[in-house]
């Protein structure tokens, strides 16, 4: 039995790359949005991902097995309200994605409006508007192949009659609604939105039209409703105005930006959002304030801890991340390249079986005569003031001062991850943390070497987030002591001024 969504009279968070991740979607729903779209996710990224139940976070995660990236994360609070937007040029791949995802999202939207070169060159986005047979085949395949509603989002054409004719053709596939951005493929946000073109489409179709592109005139909920009236629609999809201040959906008016940022950070920590994605979204909120002292601090931040410290939420971040760590969360630190399993299937080290058998690599036994010293250490660039303080530089100076040969670095790459091993003074050193680039892998291995030789302090590495504390160590005791008095809201737990260890998924 097919599920249904009434797309009339809806306020919608538009699909926005790097913005429409779980924390922002939940924030929009909390402030009054009726539906929330994911960022556009390319079909093959989803098809190579694995579905995991994240018991620590209470989420469903789709994980890219080549590097541990969370491709899509959802939770019960957005069930029935989250729409997956996909980028695709293939009916076969689109249907495969739809059938894989239909139990975890409320609907599927096909992006037919993205004007970016990478999308057009791949036959996706706005390119589909000029390839009507392919566009219709994708929509028809989805409508017939999945149990949830299917929609698409388009841009207007230079010729309005052509736009209406196109929209009618797309409507004939059985889609439930269509989003219309009132600009052509060559126009950008600085260009005025063509509200009349959206109205022409809305008046010509019998399915709901969701108006999009009016952020220049939107600062509060009332403006959204007026934009809908001018476009002859009852539903509006808000992008940049929501990106700047998501409380634009509130019936009682928008909130101060700092309040919105703090609530966004609370959700980002709660759902273990990546620091880079969190930083990007906060930068979009700050806009011109990126050049302010707070903006500069944000620009220099690399970890979630550092971001939260700016808004006096560091304690909440530390305690939450430690609690997740001790609960056994599978974050970036648990990510391992895929290796060949004994039964011919492929598994990720320490994780569940993966779907793909390609690129799977066999582990060879360690037959090297030199002892291997290993620690789970990651390299966080912002921990180091300048190049002279970097681990590799410190290790080089350590060798010179002690009359030792220079360290020799060997880097191993598997899938999209890197791990380095150092040969130094008759021993080998490596980190069990797989980095996303070669340079960081070498720096992490150098940190392990410096730690083992007593140049770096374990306590300092834990404090700055390069290492995680032992479960039964002092950091664990700190968390246990605060559990009974800690609330879900940031800033309300008591502190004793003691420096807390920082946990980061890097």
**Taking the domain 11-255, which CATH number applies?**
3.20.20.70
**Residue 288: burial class (beta carbons within 10 Å; 0-12, 13-18, 19+):** exposed
| Averaged confidence pLDDT in the chain | 87
Q: Give the strands of the sheet with 427-431, arranged side by side.
A: 372-375, 427-431, 417-424, 408-414
Check whether 359 has a pLDDT greater than 90. Answer: no
Query: Which of 183-187, 330-334, 368-372 is most confident?
Result: 183-187
pLDDT score at 496: 30
pLDDT score at 326: 84
Helices 257-270 and 22-31, packing angle to 10 deg: 130
Q: Which two tokens stand for residue 109?
A: 């939207």
Helices assigned H by DSSP within 205-248: 221-230, 240-244
**Residue 488: burial class (beta carbons within 10 Å; 0-12, 13-18, 19+):** exposed
Mean pLDDT of 306-332: 89
Mean pLDDT of 100-119: 96
Residue 244 confidence class, pLDDT cut points 50, 70, 90: very high
Check whether 294 has a pLDDT greater than 80. Answer: yes
More confident residue, 358 or 179: 179
Least confidently predicted of 43-52, 202-211, 271-280, 480-489: 480-489
Least confidently predicted of 65-74, 221-230, 328-337, 387-396: 328-337
Q: DSSP labels for 257-326?
A: HHHHHHHHHHHHHHTT--HHHHHHHHHHHHGGGGGSHHHHHHHH--SHHHHHHHTT-HHHHHHHHHHHHH
Q: Which two tokens stand for residue 251?
A: 């019936």
pLDDT in tens, 360-372: 333 455 677 889 9
Query: Which of 109-113, 357-361, 414-418 is most confident?
Result: 109-113
pTM summary value: 0.80
Check whether 433 has a pLDDT greater than 80. Answer: yes
More confident residue, 358 or 119: 119
Least confidently predicted of 127-136, 230-239, 458-467: 458-467
Check whether 351 has a pLDDT greater than 50. Answer: no
Kindly list the catalytic residues. Answer: 114
Least confidently predicted of 61-65, 112-116, 357-361: 357-361
Residue 241 confidence class, pLDDT cut points 50, 70, 90: very high
pLDDT score at 473: 57
What residue segments make up the domains of the chain, in order of their start?
A: 11-255, 260-334, 370-478
In contact, 260 and 252? CB cutoff 8 Å: no
**Residue 144: burial class (beta carbons within 10 Å; 0-12, 13-18, 19+):** exposed
Mean pLDDT of 146-150: 98
Check whether 495 has a pLDDT greater than 80. Answer: no
Nearest to 397 by CA among 411, 407, 383: 407
Check whether 154 has a pLDDT greater than 80. Answer: yes
Mean pLDDT of 453-468: 90
Q: Name the CA radius of gyration of the chain, rounded.
A: 25
pLDDT score at 336: 76
Check whether 421 has a pLDDT greater than 60. Answer: yes
The dihedrals phi and psi of 80, each to the nearest 5 degrees, come to 80, 0
CATH classification of 370-478, choosing from 3.30.160.20, 3.90.79.10, 1.10.760.10, 3.20.20.70?
Answer: 3.30.160.20
pLDDT score at 366: 64
Cα dihedral 310→313→314→318 (10° resolution):
-150
């Amino acid at each position: 039995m097919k599920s249904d969504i009434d797309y009339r009279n809806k306020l919608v968070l538009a699909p926005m790359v790097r913005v429409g991740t779980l924390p922002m979607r939940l924030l929009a729903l909390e402030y009054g949005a009726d539906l929330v779209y994911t960022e556009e996710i390319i079909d093959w990224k989803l098809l190579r991902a694995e579905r995991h139940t994240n018991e620590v976070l209470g989420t469903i995660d789709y994980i890219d097995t080549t590097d541990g990236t969370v491709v899509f994360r959802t939770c019960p609070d957005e069930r029935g309200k989250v729409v997956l937007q996909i980028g695709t040029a293939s009916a076969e791949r689109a249907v495969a994605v739809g059938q894989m995802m239909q139990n975890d999202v409320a609907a599927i939207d096909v992006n037919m409006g993205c004007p970016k070169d990478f999308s057009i060159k791949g036959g996706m986005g706005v390119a589909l508007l000029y390839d009507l047979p392919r566009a219709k085949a994708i929509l028809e395949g989805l409508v017939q192949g999945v149990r949830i509603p299917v929609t698409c989002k388009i841009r207007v054409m230079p010729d309005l009659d052509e736009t209406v004719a196109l929209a009618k053709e797309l409507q004939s596939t059985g889609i439930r609604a269509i989003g219309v951005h009132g600009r052509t493929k060559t126009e950008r946000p600085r260009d005025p939105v063509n509200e009349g073109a959206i109205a022409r489409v809305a008046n010509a179709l019998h399915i709901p039209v969701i108006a999009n592109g009016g952020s220049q005139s939107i600062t509060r909920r009332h403006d959204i409703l007026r934009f809908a009236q001018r476009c002859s629609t009852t539903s509006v999809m808000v992008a940049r105005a929501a990106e700047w201040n998501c409380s634009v959906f509130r019936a009682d008016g928008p909130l101060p930006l700092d309040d919105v940022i703090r609530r966004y950070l609370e959700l980002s920590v709660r759902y273990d959002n990546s620091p880079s994605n969190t930083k990007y979204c906060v930068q979009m909120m700050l806009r011109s304030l990126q050049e302010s002292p707070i903006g500069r601090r944000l620009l220099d931040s690399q970890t979630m801890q550092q971001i939260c410290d700016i808004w006096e939420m560091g304690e909440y971040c530390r305690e939450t991340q430690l609690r997740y760590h001790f609960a056994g969360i599978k974050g970036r630190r648990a990510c391992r390249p895929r290796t060949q399993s004994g039964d011919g299937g492929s598994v990720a080290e320490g994780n569940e079986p993966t779907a793909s058998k390609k690129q799977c690599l066999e582990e060879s036994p360690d037959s090297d005569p030199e002892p291997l010293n290993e620690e789970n250490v990651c390299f966080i660039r912002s921990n180091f003031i300048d190049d002279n303080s970097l681990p590799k530089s410190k290790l080089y100076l350590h060798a010179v001062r002690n009359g030792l040969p220079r360290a020799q670095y060997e880097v191993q790459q598997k899938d999209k991850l890197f791990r380095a091993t150092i040969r130094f003074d008759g021993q080998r050193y490596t980190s069990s943390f797989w980095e996303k680039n070669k340079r960081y892998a070498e720096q992490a291995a150098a940190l392990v070497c410096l730690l083992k030789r007593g140049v770096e302090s374990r306590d300092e590495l834990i404090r700055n987030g390069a290492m995680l504390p032992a479960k039964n160590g002092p950091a664990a005791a700190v968390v246990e002591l605060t559990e009974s008095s800690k609330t879900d809201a940031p800033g309300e737990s008591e502190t004793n001024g003691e420096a807390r260890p920082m946990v980061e998924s890097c």
